[in-house]
A and B are shown apart, each in its own frame.
Chain A
């Protein structure tokens, strides 16, 4: 019976599988190309099985093209920015959810209004501000710009989340002598783990992939480039090294792909959840 039902889905599966393979073909092609020799890449660009595995391409991208440095920069910027954004968003969200204070409605409205602000609208003063702070061409400057320019979406999502947790928990903690900060840190924050996971994932994805801000802030300083800017620079510095380029591309996207594939449910539900709100 069950088998019959599955067989009925066979035509649908054939269509879906076909489309899905075409859909991720660029990634399969990238993996194949990153392991080909330059000559083979030019001779048979479509073949997906390299004659001989050229791990050399990866070494070239990692060492000669300096992707080891770019990788390190990306990790530092992303981890710092994610930690800052998520923690501060949780603080804001909790205060907004639990306390009525003068100016609250204005604040929520102002935050909500910034959700669709494009980077091209704010990038010039951000650059000027970082420059005036003396943080141009530094990692902290980049972290600050990334964390400050992140959408306030998570503060609003945390607000919705904390509104949904029972107030009695806070009150019980308060009776036990915990102050506002302690209640937040020890009672509410641990309860918000799913929301924190979603926020970390999405912010990680955004910061890791961020290009406009690091381009403007670090293009002239090769030692500070993140992976995205490094990829862009790769083309002008090693223009015809297509195999090295695909290896570099895979180095750049592997962390995010691993994260996504292992936690894809949270990714997709988090994104569609934040869209609905």
Chain B
């Protein structure tokens, strides 16, 4: 008798508790949601809106031009130059970082290696150092006459005349690839290391029993098992490379003559500087930004789906 009476009341109490907790939850989420809405969601939407207008960045937004900005972007050879340069840079840094970081991780993976944490920290120092500062300092290190790189190469007789690193396109790109790979190698190494440490011991014991040598164990056990981690490392290398504005802008400013002008630098040039004496072209820059944002988003989406599928396959 008593029980049937108390049941609806308990249910009502449970409902009020649930509702009050939901109100609290909304109150907890709101502040950050407002901030994110204003500075992430709203900008993403507005980039698309601006891209449909001819607009110098001030005054009313009333010169609707439809997809004309997009058509102009597609027709601009410098846009495709930026697109291409971004991808060359990306390919270069990925090709350098993935294998070298794996090699370093393998060297550091030995369990009883004395001072492992010290080495790990040393290789990690460039990762935490400010990119913009590195970019500026590298200008001096790669300088033609007083630069460290040329002086070292001259002293060891590897070259006879100084290389004009940052004043010719190909060598400027090479210098950027080397510096960027060096800068972010540590994080890739730590990711590989985490992957190596999660591999099952038993397989290695079994391989030893079967008489496999180091290379065979690596080739047939370690490498296949590292594929899911490898995809994550690849994803981060690609995103790092495509969004390396700070380093490139400070080290070469896109030069010489647009040879290292990547996507974000191209957007910056149209949005915040006065191109050829005219007004900033925010609509046009936004259209380029949409192309760029969607490219990065699609690449990261495909790779994260791939990573998820791989790790599910492996259990």
CB proximity of A265 to chain B, nearest CB, Å: 7
Residue of B24, B40, B282 near A99 (CB, 8 A) is B24
Residue of A16, A20, A129, A234 near B42 (CB, 8 A) is A129
A45/B289 in contact, CB under 8 A: no
Interface footprint category on A: 35 or more
Interface presence of A12 (CB below 8 A): yes
8 A Cβ contacts from A111-139 to B: 111, 114, 116-129
8 A Cβ contacts from A1-42 to B: 5-6, 9, 12-13, 15-16, 19-20, 23-24, 26-27, 29-30, 33, 41-42
Which of B6-14, B212-220, B292-300 touches A? B292-300
Interface footprint category on B: 35 or more
Interface presence of A209 (CB below 8 A): yes
A19-B104, A27-B129, A211-B246 provided; 4 other pairs, C-beta below 8 A?
Answer: A26-B126, A120-B245, A264-B117, A267-B128
Which residues of chain B have C-beta atoms less than 8 A from A20's C-beta? 119, 122-123
Residues of A within 8 A of B (CB): 5-6, 9, 12-13, 15-16, 19-20, 23-24, 26-27, 29-30, 33, 41-42, 45-46, 84, 88-89, 91-92, 94-96, 98-101, 107, 110-111, 114, 116-129, 144-145, 147-149, 152, 155, 179-181, 184, 205, 208-209, 211-212, 215-216, 227-229, 231-232, 234-235, 242, 245-246, 249, 252-253, 256-257, 260-261, 264-265, 267-268, 271-272, 275-276
B47/A228 in contact, CB under 8 A: no
Residue of A116, A120, A179 near B289 (CB, 8 A) is A120
Interface presence of B222 (CB below 8 A): no
Residues of B within 8 A of A (CB): 20-22, 24-26, 28-29, 31-33, 35-36, 38-44, 46-47, 50, 57, 104, 107-108, 110, 112-115, 117, 119-134, 136-141, 146-148, 151-152, 155, 182, 187, 190-191, 193-194, 232, 236, 239, 242-243, 245-246, 249-250, 263-264, 267-268, 271-272, 282, 285-286, 289-290, 292-293, 296-297, 300
On whether A260 and B125 interact (CB within 8 A), knowing A15-B107, A114-B36, the answer reads yes
Measured CB to CB, the nearest residue on chain B to A43 is B146
Measured CB to CB, the nearest residue on chain B to A102 is B22
B29/A256 in contact, CB under 8 A: no
Which residues of chain A have C-beta atoms less than 8 A from B267's C-beta? 120, 123-124
A120/B293 in contact, CB under 8 A: yes
Which residues of chain B have C-beta atoms less than 8 A from A249's C-beta? 133, 136-137
B133/A228 in contact, CB under 8 A: yes
**Bound-complex Cα distance A95 to B25 (A):** 5
A121/B44 in contact, CB under 8 A: yes
**Bound-complex Cα distance A88 to B115 (A):** 38
CB proximity of A29 to chain B, nearest CB, Å: 6
